Amino acid sequence: MTTTTPNAAHARLPRGIWVLGFVSMLMDISSEMIHALLPVYLVTMLGASTLTVGFIEGIAEATAAITKIFSGALSDWLGRRKLLAALGYGLAALTKPLFPLAPSVGWLVAARFIDRVGKGIRGAPRDALIADISPMGLRGASFGLRQSLDTVGAFIGPLVAIGLMWWTSDHFVAVFWVAVLPAFLSFGLIAFAVTEPEPDAGREPAKNPLNTAAMRQLGPVYWRVVAVGVIFTLARFSEAFLILRAQNIGLNAMWVPAVLVLMNIVYALSAYPAGALSDRINRTALLGLGLVLLAGADLALALLPDLAGLALGVVLWGLHMGLTQGLLSALVADTAPPSLRGTAFGYFNLFTGLAMLAASVIAGALWDAYGPVGTFLAGLGFALAALVGLLTVGDGLAMEKK
């Protein structure tokens, strides 16, 4: 069980945590302006199937995950995090203009692929940098705050997309162009406003973070956390299927992004409190509650095909995200050696990214074969199976920490 001292509980979060949170927020505004419309744009404007949507979303996230292992290990080898994080944000900003310029599905796949490479380069070094900056007793709160600000961007982006779709009479490409601006603002902020702390005295950079000795050095508790992350990821799939469900029940294209607005408002409001609470109680208990909420979301989205059912499912989905994503990052930081934190986040994201690829492709195939009910009932089954697995893993974590 991870706890904090009374003094740490009342300490202020470091300035760098706030800055990195706003960096994430601006990039998410840009990304979600595009991603909130991209599934509908692919299906209605370019004639793609929902299986194609699932494949694109899955391969995009898997690409980011695979890249993270190398960028995370490189940050451990260099003993520095900021350079790689800034490079990743810069690449993502440079690729944003490809979305409005893409004339076909193939071009959009390429744009999404390159954009996710940027995400992969920045992800593990940024998370390791947060772990380096945050006090031990405020680690859950630090990751929760970054996740919360990131998610604020995730609902501002679709909200702006709704307004621009109304103003431009559903002109997708115009909205994609506007999304370029916050991406470049994000890069400027991390390049000029983030200061990396000096490495701890006596801590040598990892010589070869990707060899088998380093993998063993990460320890069994860390690998149990990775197993938890993989199970969670298999139990859910891309939020693109929430958007498609909204379209399926009859929402106008202009209002479809409201699904992500609602989900991310709930996500943003719950992520920081959940992270702060996890500094005081067993993190796996909150993770288990998150899985229960995910099961409820799948049930509502499968069996209640109206606006009320959609809203309930989306709210529960957002709560599940708030109670799981920052906590998993905090667990990785808790269990990994400081000199291998970048590599630890890289491995974690590699395996969960591959699980996301499988989950999203399966969801798309089920949708094409059985419709949305089949997709969300399958998600319910995975969530319940993951809950059983989490109980076993939670017991193992508790025993390892004794």
Task: Note whether residue 1 is domain-resident.
Answer: no
For residue 29, what pLDDT is reported?
A: 93
CA dihedral angle for residue 183, residue 44, residue 120, residue 295, rounded to 10 degrees: 110
Task: Note whether residue 7 is domain-resident.
Answer: no
Backbone angles phi, psi at 14, to 5 degrees: -60, 150
The structure tokens listed for 22 are: 């706003």
> What is the DSSP annotation of 229-295?
HHHHHHT---THHHHHHHHHTT--TTTTTHHHHHHHHHHHHHHHHHHHHHTTS-HHHHHHHHHHHHH
CA atoms within 13 A on the CB side of 233: 24
For residue 246, what pLDDT is reported?
A: 85
The structure tokens listed for 257 are: 């992004």
Among the listed residues 359, 363, 386, the one whose alpha carbon sits nearest the alpha carbon of residue 376: 363
Q: Spell out a b/e string for 39-63, using b for 16 or more CB atoms within 10 Å of the CB, else e.
A: bbbbbeeeebebbbbbbbbbbbbbb
Please count the other Cβ atoms lying within 10 Å of the Cβ belonging to residue 195.
10
For residue 58, what pLDDT is reported?
A: 65
Domain hosting 247: range is 16-196+210-401
Distances (CA, A) of 308 to 249, 257, 263, 355, 378: 11, 16, 14, 30, 21
Q: How many domains does the chain have?
A: 1
Residues listed for the chain = 402
Q: Burial level of 200, CB count in 10 A (0-12/13-18/19+)?
A: exposed
Q: What distance, in Å, lies between the first and last C-alpha atoms of the chain? A: 9
For residue 7, what pLDDT is reported?
A: 41
Task: Note whether residue 202 is domain-resident.
Answer: no
Can you tell me whether residue 179 is helix, strand or coil?
A: coil
For residue 398, what pLDDT is reported?
A: 57
Instruction: List, for residues 6-29, the tens digit of each pLDDT value.
Output: 344 445 888 889 999 999 999 999
Can you tell me whether residue 193 is helix, strand or coil?
A: helix
Q: What's the CATH number where 45 sits?
A: 1.20.1250.20
For residue 395, what pLDDT is reported?
A: 56
For residue 2, what pLDDT is reported?
A: 40
Task: Note whether residue 201 is domain-resident.
Answer: no
> Are 313 and 301 contacting, i.e. CB atoms less than 8 angstroms apart?
yes
Instruction: Look up the pTM and report it.
Output: 0.75
For residue 45, what pLDDT is reported?
A: 65
For residue 10, what pLDDT is reported?
A: 41
Task: Note whether residue 6 is domain-resident.
Answer: no
Task: Note whether residue 383 is domain-resident.
Answer: yes
Distance CA(378)–CA(97), nearest Å, equals 36
Among the listed residues 20, 35, 24, 59, the one whose alpha carbon sits nearest the alpha carbon of residue 263: 35
Task: Note whether residue 317 is domain-resident.
Answer: yes
For residue 46, what pLDDT is reported?
A: 67
Task: Note whether residue 11 is domain-resident.
Answer: no
**Parts of the chain with a pLDDT under 70:** 1-11, 43, 45-51, 53-54, 57-58, 61-62, 65, 199-209, 392-402
